[in-house]
Amino acid sequence: MVTDKVHDETKQGEAYAPFKDDPTVYRKRFYIESYGCAMNFADSEVVASILHKEGFGPTKNVEEADLIFVNTCSIREKAEQTVRKRLTEFRKLKKNRPGTLVGVLGCMAERLKSKFLEEEKLVDIVVGPDAYRSLPGLVEEAESGHKAINVLLSRDETYADISPIRLNSNGISAFVSIMRGCNNMCSFCVVPFTRGRERSRDAESIINECRELFDNGYREVTLLGQNVDSYYYTDNSQQAIAEPVTFAKLLEKVALISPLLRVRFSTSHPKDITDEVLHTIARYENICKYIHLPVQSGSSRILQMMNRTYTREWYQAKVDRIREMVPGCGISSDIIAGFCTETEEDHRDTLSIMEYSNYDYSYMFFYSERPGTLAQRRYADDVSEEVKKRRLADIVEMQNRLSLESNKKDLGKTFEILIEGDSKKSGKDWMGRSSQGKVVVFPKKHYDLKKGDYVMVRVNDCTQGTLLGNIVH
Ligand code: SAM
Ligand code: SF4
């Protein structure tokens, strides 16, 4: 399966796997579970670091935790329902262990604020995405029997100085947050309300974090932001006016750390990805030839209502440009079925733009109206659930066909693969990824290789989700 791992269904609700630690040195144990996009998973690593510094020890056994945190997602109603269900399970746990504190972090905390404390009686702490530094104080407040809340959004918080503790990492790939918030007002989206204004993190701190990861054996970093192409950082601390760092420059700086460090990034808004970025991707071998370029819809009318600021034709021209400047580049997308007023013709436009773009992979959703968004205020959610689901099924079917076709085109080709670990099915096979993000499985044979090594693999078979091959010299 091709995935940029940005919203990985297999990881939803994944708990914190602790590093080796000394159980005697911690005053309390915390457990943290994450939902939603990669930004949330990266944020949980920042939270773990903040708590750890304050003497809290990690555990992946919720039963022994004094503090239970859920890092939440509000993007669709279903995501919120999953969290609510989980919280009721914690209610039972709390009954058996009075004194255990439950905290809600992230987007749902920001969206529901104190309503959370009223509605969900079992919640003790509510913390928005920009307020994690205040967690230790809030825990103290909750320990003294008061409900604790901080949902202030910030214009400049980037947690730049905090070195995240890597959670459940394979030791090879890591997420590095390069910016926070979003200034695009896509009409369906709750993110600008839950994560606040866009701000870019200090470039130097990003490079340092990536370098440190490389020195610790990591071989792949994914630079994260809601809209990475609008990254723009000026160092105001310098006396002379420093040159601004654009996303293209940042990519280059990270790529220059070592040719052995692969660089990925997500997400690119089609309106912001520039020729300069594409040139940079093409120029550096270790910048992965893979772009997540969410289209959302193939109909210009719907795109306008979504406030995506591009038309179908404009998007297609961008895909053409990528294919021209970065030959062999993998492209994936996010697609929403059944947005307000969507007709069968609009839906067919979505299917045809998928075919035009030849996506290797897509994240596909049906529209879920979110309170407070522009779409909720302006338009009726007038496509029935039945129709939404049928259209989504069409979209999934189209993507399955495109993914298989894309994999078949790779038969007979040789790719450089970064080994991530054993394949899921057998300890006799390695699993790794091509630069295009495709999962490749191949027999270990007699070769003396390990996780984090690069190896050339010739593809000789495939399924819709995986390439299969053999090591070549
Ligand atoms: N910033 C990224 C972008 O612009 O593509 C991704 C943001 S969001 C976390 C990931 C995806 O969720 C979006 O690209 C969109 O397809 C989907 N999404 C957002 N709001 C949605 C909604 N109300 N209903 C269904 N899907 C939604
Ligand atoms: Fe949401 Fe649009 Fe911002 Fe992505 S770019 S986070 S879809 S508002």
Q: What is the pLDDT of residues 177-234, one digit of tens each?
A: 999 999 999 999 999 999 999 999 999 999 999 999 999 999 999 999 999 999 999 9
Asked if the model's pLDDT at residue 32 lies above 60, the reply is: yes
Q: How many CA atoms lie within 13 A of 39 on its CB side?
A: 26
**The ligand 1 atom nearest the CA atom of 39:** 9
CA of 364 to the centre of ligand 1 (A): 9
Q: What is the pLDDT of residue 3?
A: 40
For the ranges 85-94, 141-150, 235-244, the maximum mean pLDDT occurs at 141-150
Question: What mean pLDDT is predicted for residues 326-340?
Answer: 98
Q: What is the pLDDT of residue 420?
A: 96
**The ligand 1 atom nearest the CA atom of 75:** 20
Q: What is the pLDDT of residue 15?
A: 66
Question: What mean pLDDT is predicted for residues 457-469?
Answer: 97
**Is residue 292 lining ligand 1, measured as CB closer than 6 Å?**
no
Burial zone of 8 (CB within 10 Å; 0-12 exposed, 13-18 middle, 19+ buried): middle
Place of tokens 């944020």: 43
**Is residue 194 lining ligand 1, measured as CB closer than 6 Å?**
no
Pocket test for ligand 2, best of 75, 186, 365 (most atoms within 8 A of CB): 186
CA of 75 to the centre of ligand 1 (A): 7
471 has which bridge partners?
457
Asked if the model's pLDDT at residue 95 lies above 90, the reply is: no
Give residue-wise pLDDT tens across range 117-156. Answer: 887 677 999 999 999 999 999 999 999 989 999 999 999 9
Positive or negative torsion for Cα 93, 98, 99, 104: positive
Give residue-wise pLDDT tens across range 400-442. Answer: 999 999 999 999 999 999 999 999 999 999 999 999 999 999 9
Q: Specify whether the CB–CB gap between 337 and 366 falls below 8 A.
A: yes
Asked if the model's pLDDT at residue 23 lies above 80, the reply is: no
Instruction: Please give the full DSSP string across 309-377, using - where no structure is assigned.
Output: S--HHHHHHHHHHHHHHSTT-EEEEEEEES-TT--HHHHHHHHHHHHHHT-SEEEEEE----TTSHHHH
Ligand nearest to the CA of 195: 2
Asked if the model's pLDDT at residue 396 lies above 90, the reply is: yes
What are 248's two structure tokens?
């293209």
- Residues for the chain: how many in total? 473
Pocket test for ligand 1, best of 75, 268, 310 (most atoms within 8 A of CB): 75
Could you give phi then psi for residue 245, rounded to 5 degrees?
-100, 115
Q: How far apart are alpha carbons 153 and 110 in whole angstroms?
A: 8
What are 148's two structure tokens?
């604790």
Asked if the model's pLDDT at residue 275 lies above 50, the reply is: yes
What are 235's two structure tokens?
């160092």
Instruction: Give, in order, the Cα–Cα distances in Å from 308 to each of 127, 245, 295, 399.
Output: 30, 25, 9, 22
CA angle 38–44–46, rounded 5-degree value: 110
What are 400's two structure tokens?
């399955």
SS (H, E, C) 67-99: EEEEEECCCCHHHHHHHHHHHHHHHHHHHHCCC
